[in-house]
Amino acid sequence: MSGRSSQAAGRGAAPLLAALIVATVGAAGCDDSVRFRLRVQWARSPGAQACPTLSDGSYTCAAIPLTCDARVRVRILDAASGQPYYSECFSIRDNGDACQLADLAIEPRAIPNEMVRVQVIVWTVAELARSGVDLSQTDGCPVTTEFTGDGLPRLVSDPTGANPPDLPVPALGGEAYFDVGKSPVATVTLGCPGWDQLDAPACRNSTVLLEATIRDPRTFGSVLRTQAEDMEVRFGVPVPGAPDRFRVDLDAFSPALAYTSSGPLVWQANLEEAPTGTRCLRVAAQGVAAPTIACFPTSAGGGRLRVDGFLVGRVMLRDLLDLQSLFDLPEEGMVIGVVVDATGQPVRGAMVSTTDGALVVYPDDNLQTVGFAGTDGKGYFLSSDAGFESVWQAAVPGGLTGDGEARGGLVDNHVSVVVIRLTGVVSTVDAGLGGPGADAGVGSDAGHDAGIDGP
């Protein structure tokens, strides 16, 4: 059927998606194939997944604007065994409304004449990127979504963020049981748990949504929510200063980012244009003698950029200064880094290097002594001469190296934090590091005390 004609028919309530061939069971040599169509309608309850309406109160696809790129999974499975008879991922561009579901180019497919489960799930590209779900082994959509007994998506995403990746929250989704051959239309009721993701401000305004988590480099857990009000987080890039030096000019950084009042502790801002090249998060806090800066190459696929910043608290900073027989932070700054493997665990025995040949030393786990033979159990390294534009690398016996993403170096009057992530997994003794993107198992906005008021 024509996508546009089905869309027009669906604007009042429920768009028809497509036609599928149903192979009915009949006598040998007989062809009793019939077609059935998929239709979606909109959940009116429960409130958490109820769909929006037009001003006249009608439930319709036209009530769900779609300005963000999205992916749609359509699946048909055997109701008893779960064997998939049909599964395909479709892309929807940021133009129009949810009536674009009527334009999915579903090819006719043979489906056995039996009870099946029909699933339709919609995610924004930005939500898939946010969750960190690995789509490399799929066709671009997650393969499965859990559903409740009433056919709505089961929202099982870990609210603490302690076990990344989070499961992506569908913008729309539903499942229905359908007895093939008994009706020409299979109707799926879609819940709308994240329908507003389809019309996010970052998409409407052609901006990029920046989301930053500020972590303690000792644990990679999020700083405490009680510390947030004393912190200032900005996004930008240092500028050249004295010869071969870089400094922070706040005019080259964003205004202070706002942080979320509930849920995971995240600092957010809408950037007017997609950032390119190396960018940084600068974190300053009352009671901390020096601000911290962490840099990274930028990529904002799907209109969202998720990054980590760090806060070196006063206790850790004092240990770092004592370790180097320093009374105060040098004017040119210092670099503290951590080497982790692909699972986020710290790596022992890694040798670190930079593109500019910086001198690198390796503190012990307690920041009491330094050596030159590679990282200790917590993966720490230090440098006092790495240029800001350094690209960092690490290698361990067995051939694993860094992923090439580590950036940064000295910035005047700042502590620079560099995280080198290896391309694989190294068998290590757990040193208590939660891992990048984790909250170390202590809650959505908690972590090891960042040292502001630490002992």
Least confident interval from 143-147, 232-236, 429-433: 429-433
Distance CA 381, CA 352 (A): 8
Residue 61 has pLDDT above 60, yes or no: yes
Residue 445 CB partners (closer than 8 Å, separation 6+)? 222, 224, 225, 228, 263, 264, 265, 439
Round the average pLDDT of the chain to a whole number and report it: 81
Strands 362-363 and 415-421, by their bridges, are unpaired
Query: Tens of pLDDT along 159-180?
Result: 444 444 467 889 999 999 999 9
Query: Tens of pLDDT along 189-208?
Result: 999 998 988 988 777 766 77
Residue 454: per-residue pLDDT: 39
Residue 17: per-residue pLDDT: 67
Distance CA 159, CA 260 (A): 14
Residue 433 has pLDDT above 60, yes or no: no
Average pLDDT, stretch 62-74?
89
Residue 70 has pLDDT above 80, yes or no: yes
Q: For the whole prediction, is pTM greater than 0.85?
A: no
Residue 147 has pLDDT above 80, yes or no: yes
Average pLDDT, stretch 229-252?
93
Average pLDDT, stretch 392-400?
89
Phi-psi region of 202 (alpha: psi -120 to 50; beta: other; left: phi over 0): alpha
Domain boundaries, the chain: 3-200, 207-421
Residue 369: per-residue pLDDT: 93
**Is the Cβ–Cβ distance between 146 and 156 less than 8 Å?**
yes
Residue 392: per-residue pLDDT: 95
Residue 24 has pLDDT above 60, yes or no: no
Distance CA 297, CA 394 (A): 17
The pLDDT > 90 percentage for the chain reads 43
Residue 149 has pLDDT above 80, yes or no: yes
Average pLDDT, stretch 392-419?
92
The pLDDT > 70 percentage for the chain reads 81
66 versus 94: the higher-pLDDT residue is 66
Residue 18: per-residue pLDDT: 64
Distance CA 209, CA 432 (A): 32
Strands 334-340 and 380-383, by their bridges, are antiparallel
Average pLDDT, stretch 229-256?
93
Half-sphere exposure of 85 (CA within 13 A, CB side): 24
Residue 303 has pLDDT above 80, yes or no: no
Residue 238 has pLDDT above 60, yes or no: yes
